[in-house]
Every structure is written in C-alpha cells, then in structure tokens.
C-alpha cells in the first residue's frame, strides 16, 4: 500500500469510529424517547419494566417451579442473569435461556431419564427451563437447601463451590462476600438474589406467587 493510500485509510478509521459513536448515541436517545413517550401516555411503568426486567415463558416457569419445588422468581432471576430471556449460545458452548453447557446437559439427561435428549433440544424453552430447573433443584439439595450456594455453583461449578465450602469450614459458615474468590461469581450471586426480589415484587401474578 502506498503512503498516500495508507494516509487515506488512517483518516477514514477515526471517521468510522466517530460514525459508530454517533449511531450508538442516536440509538440511546431513541430508546429514551420511547420510554419518555410511554411515561407521558401512562404506559410507562409496564413498558419500562418489560425493558429493564423482562419476563417470558412464565407458564413454563410456573410449571417447572411447581414440579421441582422451586421459587419461580428464583428461576426467572437465573434466566435474567444468564441470558436476559434471549436464546443464545456462549463462547463456552452454553445454550439457551438458562445457558446450560453440553456436559451439564448430558449429566441432567442421564439423571432425569432424558434418553432421547439431543443438545439441539436446549434451544427449546420448555426443555431448557426444565433442565435448568432440574439442575437448580439438584444443587440446592446438594448444599442442604442453601439457595445461595446453589446459585454460586450454577455460575462457578460444583467443584469450585465444594472447595470453597470446605475451606470456609462448612455450609453454615459460608459467606459469599468472604468465601467466593471469583468477583464474577460474587456479583452473579448478588445479582440473582436482587433480581429474585424484583421479580417477586413486579411479577407476582404472572409467576403465581
């Protein structure tokens, strides 16, 4: 590439970055405009709630909560923290609303009798939420009823949390702020528990609470 051409490319790059920033700013302003318009029209609170705290598949969540003996607000909070209720696949291969990894899905299938299970089934909300709820119930039982430890293990893995519990001197001595060494997992547990309360406050009827 000639020096003249390289100079033109160098000039274009900052301009492209500026255009991207302007487009991002326009998108934020547009979203704020929608929210403000909704507030003026009297539809603001439900709309803002749907944007900031979405809830989908509440019928499946209610069903799985009843079947697994779980708080439906806890299931909703885990889904929110994992995927914001959007079907997606992570870089690590975790799939669907509850971001279940292939190894965890195979474990659940073996223990729950899902002999015909295929990894592609995790894209189906019914199966994904059923498997995620099964695993939450398994983790809660594993930790003697501790939902905090179960949520930590959902994020960091059973082996890690088992070691943290042992180092803390047992489940009864475990404190998230002191004994979870991963900042991501500490934030994850706090966020899930906070969102759980918000789902209970905002979606009690939808979740059958």
Q: Name the active-site residue from 45, 50, 81, 82.
A: 82
Task: Please give the Cα distance from 121 to 113 (Å, whole number).
Answer: 15
| Residue 192 structure tokens | 């899930």
CB atoms within 10 A of CB 43: 11
Task: Please give the Cα distance from 117 to 164 (Å, whole number).
Answer: 32
The DSSP-derived string for 145-176 is T-HHHHHHHHHH-HHHHHHHHHHHTSGGG--H
Return the DSSP state at 59.
H
The closest alpha carbon to 125, from 72, 73, 87, 71, belongs to 87
| Residue 152 structure tokens | 């930590």
Task: Please give the Cα distance from 25 to 44 (Å, whole number).
Answer: 22
82 as an active site residue: the answer is: yes
Decide: 80 and 54 in contact? Cβ < 8 Å: yes
Annotated catalytic residues are: 82
């Amino acid at each position: 590439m000639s020096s003249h051409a390289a100079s033109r490319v160098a000039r274009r790059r900052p301009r492209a970055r500026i255009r991207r920033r302007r487009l991002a700013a326009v998108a934020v302003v547009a979203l704020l405009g929608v929210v403000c318009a909704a507030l003026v029209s009297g539809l603001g609170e439900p709309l803002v709630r749907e944007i900031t705290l979405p809830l989908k598949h509440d019928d499946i969540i209610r069903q799985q909560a009843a079947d697994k003996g779980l708080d439906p607000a806890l299931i909703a909070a885990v889904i929110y923290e994992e995927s914001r209720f959007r079907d997606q696949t992570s870089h690590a291969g975790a799939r669907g609303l509850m971001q279940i990894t292939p190894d965890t899905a195979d474990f659940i299938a073996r223990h729950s009798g899902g002999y015909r299970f295929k990894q592609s089934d995790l894209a189906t909300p019914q199966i994904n939420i059923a498997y995620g709820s099964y695993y939450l119930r398994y983790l809660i039982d594993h930790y003697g009823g501790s939902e905090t430890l179960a949520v930590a293990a959902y994020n960091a893995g059973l082996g890690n949390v088992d070691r943290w519990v042992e180092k803390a001197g047992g489940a009864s001595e475990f404190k998230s702020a002191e004994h979870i060494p991963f900042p991501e997992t500490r934030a994850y547990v706090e966020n899930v528990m906070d969102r759980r309360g918000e789902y209970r406050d905002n979606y009690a009827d939808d979740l059958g609470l």
